């Protein structure tokens, strides 16, 4: 089903399918293609409105009677690691970050397969082959980087320990997908990569780190709520997570505005009817 208005891209809605976060619910997404000269401006603009990128598509949950999924980001300037997060940073102090272009390698795919087989064997990506993995990494029309983490030992860099696919937005780093060595699960590498990218964003003077969606009531997403200075996109504005602690995941047939109304309220880059950010500075990534 297509929904569009003059001067903005076409938006579509996916067919309902089982929700991966809350049992017994059906998910639906509002999405649009990400392509052409406006791809980066679109990614910047819609990320601020709760959208996420997957290859050359931007999407946002738009379920018929549920609005539990909330886009989350960390305010870098206000973030202070907890005591347990400082321990995570110390445990992984020997890891060295290497930032590369969005180009898939055999090492990355081998680690990705071990990660899926160990932690997400029944997930939607379980059957992803090397070509699909390469597409996930490389099919990007925006400024995307691969951050590899390797052990920095006496004999040089060892085997790949963790990987994060990250978009560089005009106001932050957006963590698209990350995975790590399942044999190093005790090192809390997922949390470590977030902590490291908060420090990276601070160094290159970007105000936010986007974490994807936080879903109250989903054990898969609980870890995101443990980060300080976390805010979520709710009712069209970014709010401190503390303001939504009592947020209900109950379904209601009137909880989600009609698709056409959602699309009409979206802000767009200047050439598409809204503000844009020209002369985007090179932040060193």
Domains and CATH numbers, the chain: 76-208 (3.40.630.30)
Q: For the residues 46-52, what does the mean pLDDT come to? A: 96
- Residue 42 in this model has a pLDDT that exceeds 50: yes
Contacts for 95-98: CB closer than 8 Å, 24+ residues apart: 95/149, 95/150, 95/151, 95/152, 95/161, 95/162, 95/192, 96/149, 96/150, 96/151, 96/152, 96/157, 97/147, 97/148, 97/149, 97/196, 97/200, 98/147, 98/148, 98/149, 98/150, 98/157
Q: How would you label 118-157 residue by residue, b for 16+ Cβ within 10 Å and e otherwise?
A: eeeeeeeeeebeeeebeebbeebbbbbbbbbbbbeeeeee
- Residue 275 in this model has a pLDDT that exceeds 50: no
Cα–Cα nearest to 285, from 152, 35, 102 = 102
How many Å apart are CA 24 and CA 107, to the nearest integer?
37
C-alpha pair distances (Å), 228 with each of 47, 171, 225: 20, 18, 8
Q: What is the pLDDT of residue 3?
A: 52
Q: Which of 57-71, 205-219, 269-283 has the lowest mean pLDDT?
A: 269-283
How many Å apart are CA 27 and CA 124, to the nearest integer?
14
pLDDT tens digits, one per residue of 62-110: 998 888 899 999 999 999 999 999 999 999 999 999 999 999 999 999 9
pLDDT tens digits, one per residue of 246-261: 566 766 666 778 888 8
pLDDT tens digits, one per residue of 1-37: 555 444 468 999 999 999 888 888 999 999 999 988 8
Highest mean pLDDT among 54-68, 142-156, 169-183: 169-183
Q: What is the pLDDT of residue 120?
A: 67
For β-strands 29-33 and 11-13, DSSP reports them as: antiparallel
- Residue 244 in this model has a pLDDT that exceeds 90: no
- Residue 279 in this model has a pLDDT that exceeds 50: no
């Amino acid at each position: 089903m297509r929904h569009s208005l003059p001067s903005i891209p076409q938006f579509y809605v996916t067919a309902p399918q089982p929700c991966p976060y809350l049992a017994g619910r059906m998910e639906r997404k509002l999405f649009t293609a990400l392509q052409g000269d406006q791809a980066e401006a679109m990614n910047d603009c819609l990320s601020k409105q709760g959208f996420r990128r997957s290859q050359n598509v931007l999407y946002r949950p738009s379920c018929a009677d549920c609005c539990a999924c909330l886009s989350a980001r960390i305010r870098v300037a206000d973030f202070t690691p907890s005591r347990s997060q400082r321990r995570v940073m110390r445990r992984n102090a020997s890891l060295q970050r290497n930032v590369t272009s969005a180009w898939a390698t055999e090492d990355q795919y081998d680690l990705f397969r071990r990660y899926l087989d160990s932690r997400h064997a029944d997930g939607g990506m379980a059957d992803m082959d090397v070509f699909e993995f390469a597409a996930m990494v490389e099919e990007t029309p925006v400024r995307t980087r691969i951050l590899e983490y390797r052990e920095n030992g006496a004999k040089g860099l060892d085997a790949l320990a963790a990987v994060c696919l990250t978009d560089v937005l005009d106001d932050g780093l957006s963590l698209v997908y990350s995975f790590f060595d399942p044999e190093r699960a005790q090192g809390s590498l997922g949390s470590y990569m977030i902590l490291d990218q908060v420090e990276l964003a601070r160094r290159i003077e970007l105000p936010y780190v986007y974490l994807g969606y936080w879903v109250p009531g989903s054990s898969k997403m609980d870890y995101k709520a443990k980060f300080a200075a976390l805010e979520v996109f709710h009712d069209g504005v970014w709010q401190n997570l503390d303001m939504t602690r009592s947020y209900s995941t109950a379904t209601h047939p009137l909880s989600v505005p009609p698709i056409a109304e959602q699309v009409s309220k979206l802000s767009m880059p200047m050439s598409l009817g809204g503000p844009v950010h020209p002369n985007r500075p090179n932040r060193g990534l």
